[in-house]
Amino acid sequence: MSAIEARLAELGVTLPDSPAPAANYVPYVVTGDTVYVSGQICMNADGLILGKLGADMALEDGAAAARACAIALLAQLKSACGGDIDRLVRVVKLTGFVNSTADFTQQPQVINGASDFLVEALGDKGRHARSAVSAAALPLGVAVEIEGIFQIA
C-alpha cells in the first residue's frame, strides 16, 4: 500500500475505481509533470449527491459533497499515475462549482470540504490555489463539481 493510501485508510477512506467519463472527453490529461483532472461530480456509496445550496441542501451537506469530489479527484490522479499515487508532488489548483441559488454566497465554505480533506490527507502536498464559484445548475442535478490540477514526479 502506498504512503498516501495508508494515510487515507487512517481517515477511513479507500479510493474507488476512477469513474469513467460521462461524455466525449477524457478523465485526465498528463503533460510533462502536470495532471489536469476533468471535473468530478459528487457521488457516495448511495449514488449521486443531488441538491442546490441555498434551497434544499445545508452547508454541511454541500461540504460533504465537495469532500466526495476530492476523493474522486484522487482516484483519477491515481489512474493518471499508473496506480502509483505516491508520485504526487502537490495539489496545484482546484476549481469548485457549487449548484446554488442566486442569493447563496458561501461557495468557499462548501469547497472547503474538498480543501480541508486534501490538506488533512496529504499535509503540505495538499495545499493549493483555488476558485469557488456558483452555478445555476450542474450536470445531473449534483450539488458540487470540482476539477483539479496536480504536479507529479
Judged by DSSP in three states, 24 sits in coil
Sorting pLDDT into bands at 50, 70 and 90, what band is 66?
very high
Query: How many Cβ atoms from other residues are within 10 Å of residue 146's Cβ?
Result: 28
β-pairing verdict for 144-152 and 88-99: antiparallel
> What is the Cα–Cα distance from 6 to 1, expressed in whole angstroms?
6
Whether pLDDT at 37 is above 90 = yes
Q: Which stretches of the chain are DSSP H helices?
A: 3-10, 59-80, 107-122
**Phi, psi of 131, rounded to the nearest 5 degrees:** -125, 145
**Predicted confidence (pLDDT) per residue in 2-32, tens digit:** 999 999 999 999 999 987 888 899 999 999 9
- Average pLDDT on 114-127 reads 98
pTM over 0.95? The answer is yes
What is the set of domains in the chain, with CATH numbers? 3-152 (3.30.1330.40)
Q: Which residue, among 138, 131, 98, has the nearest Cα to 115 in the 3D structure?
A: 131
Note whether 96 and 110 are within 8 A (CB). Answer: yes
Q: Supply the mean pLDDT for the chain.
A: 97
